[in-house]
Structure 1
Amino acid sequence: MKIGIMGSGAVGSFFGSFLTEAVHDVRYIARGAHLAEMNKNGLSIVRENKKITIYQTFSENVEALADCELILFCVKSGDTKETAEKLKEVIHESAYVMTLQNGVNNEETLVEVFGKDRVLSAAVYVQASVESPGVIKQSGRYRLVIGALSDGGQEAAKKISVLLNEAQIPADCSQQIMLRKWKKYLFSLIFNPLSAATDRTIGQILEDPHLREIAAMIGSETIEIAALSGYPLGEEDIEIAFQNAEFARKHTTSMLQDVRKGKVTEADELIGYLINKASVYKKSLNTVKTVYYLLKSREKNL
């Protein structure tokens, strides 16, 4: 299959590498020093203690994806609308677009651009980072849960799930993908903003009783808005998030990676979405807002 990686950062590059090894025609869209290094020396992926280097189509031009049948959409949330519009101009009308992004609102934007039947979503579970330009480092467990947003995309989701598993990417297919995404979103909101605002890894948050309590309060506020939005999460989902965090103690969250590199985070898109939802339901998110403001203050001083 011809597959495009729209946004070849840590997540896109990591999962794309399996598809390349499975002899699919994979094209990677990237930019800057990361792209320059990939074109010069290839894309290196360090999976636990195994390192592979792949040489494929690396480009900053979305036209390289013109004949792709599947697009793994992995750009930052703030770039979703603009990137999707550019992509729509070049890809075939039969191509599927599957978002591997954080949060639960990118699907809405992609559906506006491509239509509900062509958009798939994936809940991503992986600890990966760009160690240096052209080098991706991963550790721990990894898998995808994918699903369609309409009945028209169900068959495509099943076929892509099979394709991913054949490429050695553990991938389940869910009939309730947005509920799964909200559960992943819950985990992200509990740990991602707090880690970036306090410069702490997930393990350090778990070990600090004060930060751990703040994280739990964020979880409680999040499940309240989730339930009002039609996704019935409960206290048990917060407990599961903390249990899963034990497997990611050494993980530097994506927001903390951005802050440490002097980049703007996805706070406006990821946290802002929840805050906006809460305002619709006339609910207060005192803890979430406090962490958000602390993080925005840190961003301002980058």
Structure 2
Amino acid sequence: MTSTASSAADVSLLRIAVMGAGAVGCYYGALLARAGHAVSLIGRQSHVQAVQQRGLRLETALLDVQVPMQASTEASAVQGADVVLFCVKSTDTEAAARAIQPWLAPGALVLTLQNGVDNDERVRAVLDRRTPVAAAVVYVATAMAGPGHVQHHGRGELVIAPSPRSEAVAAQFGAAGIPTQISDNVRGALWAKLVLNCAYNALSALSQQPYGQLVQAPGVTDVIADTVAECLAVAKADGVTIPGDVAAAVRGIPATMPGQHSSTAQDLARGKPTEIDHLNGYVVQRGEALGVPMPLNRALQVLVKLAEARRGSGG
């Protein structure tokens, strides 16, 4: 079952906290704040200070506006929120979940908007079992252009798992200009997104090229196709049903996001740890457990880790 909630549903405005206010969280937070919801961003000091002083600058193809909202460096800012958009890096999932746990309101929905396929399970393992946690699959191209400044480059849909609050959340998100579906097969949709990330993120990071330019190089599309084949073999062995035509979706990325650098490329360029262990590395881990060879995904993981170490040492 996949359904699109009606934006006309009779639901009140939400109090929303964004835990880990990077590009994804800031984009959705800005749209929700513009629609009248009370949004609090939780992020790094320089970013928080910029938002407190000027609001969040939202730059898209159609508008460039300052959006007033609350911002804090403290996890306690989730207090009183109806919905927490959980947007931290996959490497920080458990630590961030522990940080917000004492402050969550009873019944608050924690919506994981992260790369990887198991973050909702990892959050659920930390939080009180009565706290609803739902995974979300994010299809958006965004980047931070500086403290307090998010740029949108394309798309923006969400697919979220069922929960006691998912219908109301989907209705309000839809009314705010965020196309939102509820699906019983979010695990499959997360895997579909994982395959896209495994196909492009490492190559974009290692070359520091956007998707449209990347695929012009000889041999790149063959490497992408072989990487995808490995991922699909692991998914099949793991009993995952991936919706849609994944191969077609992979081929379409350079056309829909030609100027986008992967999040892994952005992290590597800034000397920050990447999520590669939760992307290609996750596929390698599951492949090892299931007896499926993963030579290309393993190579991409190792090459990104080597590049990380080099950047980290100032090389």
TM-score, L = length of structure 1: 0.94
- Partners in 2 of 1:72 and 1:230 — Cα distance? 28
Aligned equivalent of 1:24: 37
Residues 1:135 and 2:171 are matched in the alignment: no
Aligned equivalent of 2:115: 102
Q: Which residue among 202, 208, 225 is the counterpart of 2:211? A: 202
SS in 1 for 2:103: coil
8 Å contact 1:105–1:273 — kept in the other structure? no
- Partners in 2 of 1:21 and 1:143 — Cα distance? 17
Superposed displacement of residue 103, structure 1: 1.0
8 Å contact 1:146–1:174 — kept in the other structure? yes
Superposed displacement of residue 168, structure 1: 1.5
Question: What amino acid maps onto 1:172 in structure 2?
Answer: Q
Q: Which is worse superposed, 230-239 or 10-19?
A: 230-239
SS in 2 for 1:209: coil
Residues 1:187 and 2:199 are matched in the alignment: no
Superposed displacement of residue 213, structure 1: 1.0
Q: Which is worse superposed, 23-32 or 267-276?
A: 267-276
SS in 1 for 2:139: strand
Percentage identity across paired residues of the two chains: 28
Q: Which residue among 250, 263, 270 is the counterpart of 1:254? A: 263
Question: What amino acid maps onto 1:80 in structure 2?
Answer: T
Q: Which residue among 159, 171, 174 is the counterpart of 1:145? A: 159
Question: What amino acid maps onto 1:4 in structure 2?
Answer: A
Alignment of structure 1 residues 55-94 onto 2, 5 Å: 55-94=68-107
Check 1:214–1:56 CA distance in 2 against 1; reply closer, same or farther (3 A cut). Answer: same
Alignment of structure 1 residues 4-15 onto 2, 5 Å: 4-15=17-28
Question: What amino acid maps onto 1:92 in structure 2?
Answer: A
Aligned equivalent of 2:303: 294
Question: What amino acid maps onto 1:60 in structure 2?
Answer: T
8 Å contact 1:30–1:59 — kept in the other structure? yes
- Partners in 1 of 2:112 and 2:254 — Cα distance? 23
Gaps of 5+ in 2: 1-13
Residues 1:123 and 2:132 are matched in the alignment: no
8 Å contact 2:189–2:243 — kept in the other structure? no
Question: What amino acid maps onto 1:24 in structure 2?
Answer: H
Q: Which is worse superposed, 136-145 or 233-242?
A: 233-242
Check 1:209–1:7 CA distance in 2 against 1; reply closer, same or farther (3 A cut). Answer: same
8 Å contact 2:153–2:257 — kept in the other structure? no
Aligned equivalent of 2:233: 224
Q: Which residue among 176, 187, 190 is the counterpart of 1:178? A: 187
Residues 1:36 and 2:52 are matched in the alignment: no
- Partners in 2 of 1:134 and 1:83 — Cα distance? 21
Give the number of aligned pairs: 297
SS in 2 for 1:301: helix
Superposed displacement of residue 57, structure 1: 1.2
Superposed displacement of residue 235, structure 1: 10
Gaps of 5+ in 1: none
Superposed displacement of residue 44, structure 1: 0.4
- Partners in 1 of 2:213 and 2:223 — Cα distance? 13
8 Å contact 1:145–1:173 — kept in the other structure? yes
